[in-house]
Structure 1
Amino acid sequence: MQFLDDSHGCAGWNGEMAGRIRAFDWSVTELGNMDTWPASLCSAVQLMLASPLPMVMLWGRPGYMIYNDAYSTFAGGRHPYLLGSPVELGWPEVADFNRHVVDTCLAGGTLSYRNKVLELLRDGIPEDVWLDLYYSPVADDDGKPAGVMAMVVETTEHVISERRRQAAEDAYHADNERVRLALNAGALLGSFVWDIKGNALSGDERFARTFSYPPEQNLADLPTDIAEARIHPDDRSWVQEQINQSVETGEPFNAEYRVLRPDGSYLWVQASGGCEFNEQGEPFRFPGVLIDIHERKTAEESLLKFTRNLEQRVADEVEARLAAEEQLRQSQKLEAIGGLTGGVAHDFNNLLQVIAGNLHLLARHEPDNANVQRRVSASIAAVERGAKLSSQLLAFARRQPLSPAVCDLRQVFDGLGELLQRALGETIQIDVTAAEALWHVYVDRNQLENAVLNLAINARDAMKGEGTIDLSAENIALDSKFCAGKGIVAGDYVCVAVADRGVGMSPQVLAQAFEPFFTTKPDGQGTGLGLSMVFGFVKQSGGHIEISSVVGQGTRVQLYFPRSLRPILSETTRHDPQQRGGHETILVVEDNEAVRSSAVELLREEGYQVLTAANGDVAMQMLLEGAVVDLIFTDVVMPGLIKSSDLAAWAKMQTPPLAVLFTSGHTRDIISRNHQLSPGTYLLSKPYGPEALTQMVRTVLNG
């Protein structure tokens, strides 16, 4: 870029930020090249650059950011990317606040805030920041407000320091209150004052008597060595440490220690007080009181002795803790494997989406070619098998999107009977038992049925296709001892159990039963994901799963689901007609180019107008610049400052709200809590076909 000559009002700036401002390509913004900037803007920027305080100029309606060196330090990791950026894009986490500032000042108003707290992501981590903020309009050459000058003074350290000071003051007042109560209770053993400058100790008669000073001792001049000698040898260094800390920091002094009595026994006392400082901040006086706590400490020691005698109880507690720690280690191991498999499934689904999208497009383009149709059908079937495998991995990793509802398990069992009999064959008998007053549970019914079906198939295989499978459900109250280390809390649960009388499992096999891809079946007869999927579903639903098995006697699997007190909502069945495409405009936001291309072509074939963005930053820039769309179709996880959740939050604030459809290989926590989709959130899981895409797009648009 060409540098300005000295005759221009923007020349002569000094400092690092001055160089960055000159080097920036302003032609990409509404400000245009610097040689066209109005004189008022140049003067304001020169004033700002000369200021030692953090200042930033927000120019124009978008609020293009120009700031000084002090503000670049305040911005942290956001610098230098904020320069030239619209303020709402530069600080998306406080976009609404900054929009109000720009609108107010461009209308001629001013704003100021004292110790305003904002949650900012300066270095990628949310932090509460307290600020003194001052905003005033800046006029252009015609005298009309054209920008906002902001002064930003961070007061975080001052606010935190003031809170700590207040806490110390509150603690000091609490100590005084304890002293008052002690006086009223008659437990006071005396008061004392230590003159720090003269190193002189004085006290009242009771204080002198407690430390066994001679009766004729002058109370205004008590030798400190006598008091120190009466403190128990094991307590002296700790008491001195507490005194030093109070003198150095001003914190209240509280110390419990033992004082030697004339009969050779020791008396437990509590000394409370605090150091006083003069106007120069120097410690000069240390008043305090002595309180009798002997009865309390004696009771504590008696209780301690009693507890130490309960050896069997301690042994039981240790054993229970070891068992809980072992369960915790197993849970952490499965959690680590789950994180890995979830990530693999996510990338695998992106690959499947590219393959599936292009296969569907190929089938549409070659409708009369029988060979192409046959091979495409076979390939799509393979993609669907891969998607099922990926779904099982996500279930184990606890990253499958769930749609939970309040369920009556008796109704679920009634509907499962025919399905189980058809899947297991006529040589298997199913014995179903459910308690009459069975509690409700809050689960995804489809996933629960899949879990029971998986367990029943395992039971059938363990009995070599013949025998009886017991399916039961009962109410149960779990105590804290049972729940320790299992990731659940004590309370009411419903236990669903599937039991067989098959070959059973050895302890070694049982220890690996939940691990993905572990199977005892011959090659080609099992993926080893059945129990893993059940484990992930139960944990994701807030429950717990246990297996007990004896070789030669059979296996019992128990699923514990928390009791739900919510009522069952009446179900209404709605049959939507086949929904085709439309004429609306859709913004596709996807960082994977191959996935983005196939989605765009599928949507355009349905008649939609399509805009594209490679990430959330580009998408937000397009929307802020006025791109008009009817639907944002966005991947959940993308690089850049602007996340998919930021786009959705911005869309919700528009009038009328803008529709958003998410897509992902798995949901992650960015749009769901524990991967249970919040109301009003739409998700199309990868891989998807044209029909699923068309139907979901129309559903969201019509909604």
Structure 2
Amino acid sequence: MPFTADDHGCPGWKGEMAERIRAYDWSATELNAIDEWQQSLVAAVQFVLGSPLPLVMLWGQQGYMVYNDAYAEFAGGRHPYLLGSPVEMGWPEVAAFNRNVMDTCLAGGTLSYRDKELVLLRNGRPEDVWMDLYYSPVADDSGAPAGVIAVVVETTGRVLTERSRERAEAALREANERLQLALNTGAVLGTWVLDVKTDMLTGDERFARTFGMAAEQARQGVTRTATGESIHPDDLEYAHRLTTESIQTGKPYRAEYRLRRADGEYIWVQANGQCEFDADGAPYRFPGVLIDIHERKIAEQALRQLTETLEQRVTDAVAARALAEEQLRQAQKMEAIGSLTGGVAHDFNNVLQVINGNLQMLAAEAGDHPATQRRIAAATQAVKRGAQLAAHLLAFARRQPLSPAVLNPRRLLDGMSEMLHHALGETIRVETVLGADLWNVLADRNQLENALLNLAINGRDAMRGEGTLTIRAQNLLVRGRTDIPDGEYLVFSIGDTGVGMPAEVLERAVEPFFTTKPNGHGTGLGLSMVFGFVKQSGGHTLIDSVVGQGTTVQLYFPRCHEAETVEFLDQTEAPAGGRETILVVEDDAQVRLTAVEMLAQLGYKVLTAPDGDAALEFINSDVPLDLVFTDVVMPGTVKSVELARLAAARSPAVPVLFTSGYTRDEIFHHGKLDSGVTLLSKPYRRDDLARKVRGVLNAHRAALVGGPAAPSSAATRVLLVEDDSPSREAMGELLATFGLQCTAVGSAEEALALAPAHRYDILLSDVTLPGLSGDALARTLRHAQPDLRIVLMSGFGEQADIGEAIPGARLLPKPFDIATLRRELAGGSAQTEAG
């Protein structure tokens, strides 16, 4: 009979895996719902969870996987997707091995392996691993085998270490065996006798050859000093010292040193002997033998070097891990601060929008009253300062929507010269050093100018109004550095001769609101804004400072190979309003009211909705609409991006104008607005609103007259596999705008879990994934669904290694544009055949 969870003692399960097992929906597997589990199954799970060893239980004919925390760590990127999966699907590369395990143990047998060698896919590549494996059957309540308990202990590190040590020991053992053989078969380099009283050495013919002398000379005798000339200078004192000790004490003599042969090369030799004493106890004769031990010493040195290398590698690995952990802590800290400041900026901009909108309307109603207009102007300036403060917060949080253009650094700095002169004053000497043929950069012009100006003002303050500020721009090729990825960069450098920063200040320099200036002399947002803007633009910031010598800030921007963007100034007057109907979607009541009043003053008919859910009712109704003006971040189930998609699908289509003080990631990715998105940033003026609204309406009208129709692919189902979360979300939204039905997952294991119950027309997958690679996933799914179209993406381009060719599969090099992706998914691209 079934038992309840309380009967089984499930609440006593401990650890992360216990929580995951409770939360998993087992009803679709052979195990049934957890509250219907057999007592034997519950007991087996309790045993698995309680073990410190990596344990996994495979239940039923399919071997549904239930495992503990230790096994989860072993599973790596496949966890938690292995939980509840059939073992053959979870580990497809060793499916045949696991099928034999299931068949054997469910028949009542057991299996065990010691240092079993397997090939597993890790980080998308096959890897040789070794494991100790023990498999035993688990009985159900009737006593029949119903599952398998597996103990999995990876021994790869030990096996590789033992093999390395065995090879070194074998080499040493072989050298010693050769030494013993040499003693017996002629590798003795000679025998000698020292006459202690005369200090003369006599030797045999082999001794003579070893020291490069005539045999007759060796028989007659040579001085010990003469033979010492052939000993390596570094070993001579050591050899003589041991000889003296042996003569004085009578102990056996054994010395290893390097001896120069006749060809000038040194070999290792071992001299063995023992001094003999006369009846009075005086030393008189010292016989010995010289043995060739060169190969043995070389083997010992190789073993010693291997040991030292292993120790150094361990030391380096520990140091690298400590550095990575520190960098991770710093990154998490800065990300947390960024999220907080971004949220603050959002609410602050909403408040500023209400103030700014009402000031604009008051200005229109006040006429020419000078005092009133003066007060309105002063308040408007305060709003601008507040908006600039919010913009700095968003820049640090990397949440500001950028409008990048291709810029020429020389022309950019030339255009800033007058502005810098006014900002720095007459007492600051400015030196500009520009390299030849400077590379272009892709960046937001206004934000880059603000960043350089901020750094220049910081330098002026650090020099207390007097000194030299050096502005440089140069091309730089980075290779093999740890702080900057390899590549081609255009580097802006701002250096001052000021007071410099100590280490504790330098460490916090880019944190928002951190400043060493007195109250009222700075917000502490300058460097944080620069840091966030450069990071959002794909670049890197380095700060070098020495107390008493000054500070230099370097901004690294990736080289842009495109031609400089030609920019035109907008000299048109603020456009008039119109008579169209606009739906305003805004959750903040005061902001909504302000927008309605400004649009009404411009002559538009206005409808309102407090959130996306209410706005959807208008979209689905027959109410005529000409434009949707919506906040980006809203409560409710219908988000702004989804609302825009539904408005575009309306007949006739309705254009959308977004507004926000904080965009998060809804409408901009990788530091810039998504293609086709029009954004009016808060706080905005009435003239700004009028111009944006009129521009969107006019552009939409022109598109209806002569724009191309988008292809219809509503019935196509796409399985998107991408492990990078922002890229996955952006790609999913883009596919939705194509009219495709998209299912997005973060790993091949998730995709395999969905495959049995769903059918897809296209697999769109990154090649490099955690765990199973994209090409391995494609082969597995193609085997089950031969008509599945396969499109693989890779940052390695056409050089991506996917092994054996996949018939009909396409390879899409990253980065790619929207048109290329649309053609590829429609089946009309000429991209590279995968393989």
TM-score tier, shorter chain, comes to 0.5 to 0.7
Residues 563 and 198 (structure 1 numbering): CA distance in 2 closer, same or farther, change over 3 Å? closer
Aligned amino acid, residue 327 of structure 1:
Q
RMSD: 4.1
Deviations 1:135-194 (A, max 9, x none): xxxxxxxxxxxxxxxxxxxxxxxx998876456565234899xx9xxxxxxxxxxxxx98
In structure 2, the partner of 1:413 is 413
The change in CA–CA distance for 1:250 and 1:665 in structure 2 (over 3 A counts) is same
Q: How many Å separate the matches in 2 of 1:586 and 1:343? A: 28
User: What letter matches 2:337 in structure 1?
Assistant: I
Equivalent residues of 1:172, 1:252 under 8 A apart: no
Contact 2:459-2:495 within 8 A present in 1 as well: yes
**Could you tell me whether the CA contact under 8 Å between 1:171 and 1:252 is conserved in 2?**
no
Distance in 2 (CA, whole Å) between partners of 1:329 and 1:195 is: 47
Instruction: Identify the residue that residue 185 of structure 1 maps to in structure 2.
Output: none
| Between 380-389 and 653-662, the greater mean CA deviation after superposition | 653-662
Counterparts of 1:639 and 1:360, CA distance in 2: 28
TM-score (norm 2): 0.50
2:10 maps to none
Give the residue type in structure 2 aligned to 1:542.
Answer: G
Q: 1:171: which partner in 2? A: 94
Alpha-carbon offset, residue 577 of structure 1: 4.3
When residues 505 and 166 of structure 1 are mapped into structure 2, their CA distance, relative to the original with a 3 A threshold, is: closer
Partner of 1:624: 620
Structure 1 residue 506 displacement after superposition = 1.5
Q: How far is 1:620 from its partner?
A: 0.6
Show the counterpart of 2:587: 591
Q: CA deviation at 1:361?
A: 1.9
Partner residue, 2:443 = 443
Query: Cα gap change, 1:165/1:391 in structure 2, threshold over 3 Å: closer, same or farther?
Result: same
Paired with 1:305 and 1:244, the residues of 2 have a C-alpha distance of 47
**Matched residues in 2 for 1:647 and 1:301: separation?**
71
Partner of 2:429: 429
Long gaps (5+) in structure 1: 1-158, 180-192, 202-223, 229-237, 259-267, 270-292
Cα distance between partner residues in 2 of 1:368 and 1:520 = 45
Alignment-derived partner of residue 457 in structure 1 = 457
Deviations 1:309-363 (CA, angstroms, capped at 9, x unpaired): 2244554554454344333323322222221111111111111111111222222
The partner residue of 2:656 within 657, 660, 670 is: 660
SS state of the match for residue 588, structure 1? strand
| Counterpart Cα distance in 1 of 2:673 and 2:612 | 21
Alignment of 1:309 with 2:305, yes or no, is no
1:353 match: 353
Given residue 432 of structure 2, which amino acid in structure 1 is its aligned partner?
A: V
Give the direction of change, closer, same or farther, for the CA distance of 1:401–1:307 in structure 2 (3 Å limit): farther
* Partner Cα distance (1:532, 1:299) in 2: 55
Corresponding residue SS for 1:556: strand
- Rounded to whole Å, the distance in 1 between the matches of 2:647 and 2:600 is 23
- Cα 1:197–1:531 change in 2 (3 A) is closer
1:509 to 505, 510, 514: 505
Amino acid at match of 1:652: A
2:677 aligned with 1:681: yes
Contact 2:136 2:150 in 1 (8 A): no
Name 2:262's counterpart in structure 1. none
Aligned CA distance change for structure 1 residues 299 and 448 (closer, same or farther; 3 Å): farther
Q: Residue 531 of structure 1 is aligned with which of 506, 527, 536? A: 527
**What are the within-5 Å matches in structure 2 for residues 286-685 of structure 1?**
308-310=307-309, 311-312=311-312, 314-479=314-479, 481-483=481-483, 489-571=485-567, 575-685=571-681
CA distance in 1, matches of 2:648, 2:631: 17
Question: Distance in 1 between the 2:697 and 2:628 partners?
Answer: 10
Between the aligned partners of 1:195 and 1:342, the Cα distance in structure 2 is 57
- Following superposition of structure 1 onto structure 2, how do residues 207-218 of structure 1 map, counting pairs within 5 Å? none
Using the TM superposition, give the Cα deviation of residue 443 of structure 1 relative to its aligned residue in structure 2, in angstroms.
1.4
Q: Distance in 2 between matches of 1:438 and 1:555?
A: 24
Deviation string 1:241-292 (CA, Å, 9 cap, x unpaired) is 24669x976799999999xxxxxxxxx89xxxxxxxxxxxxxxxxxxxxxxx
1:29-85 deviation per Cα after TM superposition (whole angstroms, max 9, x unaligned): xxxxxxxxxxxxxxxxxxxxxxxxxxxxxxxxxxxxxxxxxxxxxxxxxxxxxxxxx
* 1:625 shift after superposition: 1.4
Q: What residue in structure 2 maps to residue 186 of structure 1?
A: none
- Equivalent position of 1:23 in the other structure: none
The 1:660–1:295 alpha-carbon spacing in structure 2 relative to 1, beyond 3 Å, is: same
Mapped partners of 2:359, 2:108: distance in 1: 93
Could you say which residue in structure 2 is the equivalent of 1:691? 687
Structure 1 pair 243–462 and aligned structure 2 pair: CA distance change class (3 A): same
C-alpha distance after superposition, 1:98-156 (max 9, x if no partner): xxxxxxxxxxxxxxxxxxxxxxxxxxxxxxxxxxxxxxxxxxxxxxxxxxxxxxxxxxx
How far is the alpha carbon of 1:477 from its aligned partner? 3.7
CA distance in 1, matches of 2:105, 2:98: 21
Q: Following the alignment from structure 2 to structure 1, what is the Cα–Cα distance between the partners of residues 316 and 132?
A: 38
Structure 2 counterpart of 1:241, one-letter code: Y
TM-score of the superposed pair, with normalisation by structure 1: 0.59
Q: Note if contact 1:615-1:640 (Cα within 8 Å) is conserved in structure 2.
A: yes
**Separation in structure 2 between the aligned mates of residue 428 and residue 441 of structure 1, nearest angstrom:** 28
Any idea what SS the aligned residue of 2:482 has?
A: helix
SS at match of 1:545: strand
SS in 2 for 1:241: strand
Cα distance in structure 2, aligned partners of 1:644 and 1:362: 31
Deviation at 1:660, TM superposition (A): 0.8
Distance 1:561 1:687, change over 3 A: same
What are the ranges of 5 or more consecutive residues in structure 2 without an aligned counterpart?
A: 1-81, 115-130, 139-144, 171-301, 700-835
CA distance in 2, matches of 1:244, 1:644: 55
Structure 1 contact 407–443 (Cα < 8 Å) conserved: yes
Q: 1:522 to 1:378 in 2, by over 3 A?
A: same
C-alpha spacing 1:496/1:169, structure 2 compared with 1 (3 Å):
closer
Shift in CA distance, 589/301, structure 1 to aligned 2, threshold 3 Å: farther
CA drift of 1:676 comes to 1.3
Change over 3 Å in CA distance of 1:445–1:253 after alignment to 2: same
Which residue of structure 1 aligns with residue 134 of structure 2? Answer: 241
Q: 1:197 and 1:613 mapped to 2: Cα distance?
A: 66
Assess if the C-alpha contact under 8 Å between 2:110 and 2:135 holds in 1: no
Structure 1 counterpart of 2:412, one-letter code: V
The alpha-carbon distance between structure 1 residues 430 and 370, as it changes in their structure 2 partners (threshold 3 A), is closer
1:391 Cα deviation from its structure 2 partner: 1.4
| Matches of 1:647 and 1:455, distance apart in 2 | 41
